[in-house]
C-alpha cells in the first residue's frame, strides 16, 4: 500500500490539494479544517513550511526532529 493511501502525503514538504488523503493528513496535523487548509495553501503556496507561517503555527512534528543543540543542520 502506498504512503498516500495510509493518510500520509507522498511528499512530506508539499501539500497537494488535489489529493484527499494529503489534505486530510495536513488538516489533522495542523489541527484545522480542510477548508482552512485550502485557504492557507492558496495564500502561501504548496510548501508546508510556508503554510505553517501563514497559520502562525510550527511545522507539525518540528519538535520531534532529532537535532542536537549547536549541530550543523546543513546536511
Question: What is d(CA 43, CA 55) in angstroms, rounded to the nearest whole number?
Answer: 10
| Residue 8 in this model has a pLDDT that exceeds 80 | no
For the chain, give the percent of residues with pLDDT over 90. Answer: 57
Q: What predicted TM-score, i.e. pTM, was given to this entire model?
A: 0.69
Question: What is d(CA 30, CA 36) in angstroms, rounded to the nearest whole number?
Answer: 10
Q: What distance lies between CA 18 and its chain's CA centroid?
A: 15
By C-alpha distance, which of 13, 8, 44 is closest to 23?
A: 8
Question: What is d(CA 12, CA 33) in angstroms, rounded to the nearest whole number?
Answer: 19
Amino acid at each position: 500500500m502506498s504512503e498516500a493511501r495510509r493518510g500520509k502525503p507522498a511528499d512530506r514538504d508539499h501539500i497537494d490539494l488535489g489529493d484527499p488523503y494529503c489534505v486530510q493528513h495536513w488538516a489533522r496535523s495542523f489541527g484545522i479544517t480542510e477548508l482552512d487548509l485550502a485557504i492557507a495553501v492558496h495564500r502561501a503556496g504548496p510548501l508546508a513550511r510556508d503554510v505553517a507561517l501563514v497559520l502562525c503555527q510550527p511545522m507539525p512534528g518540528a519538535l520531534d526532529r532529532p537535532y542536537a543543540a549547536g549541530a550543523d543542520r546543513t546536511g
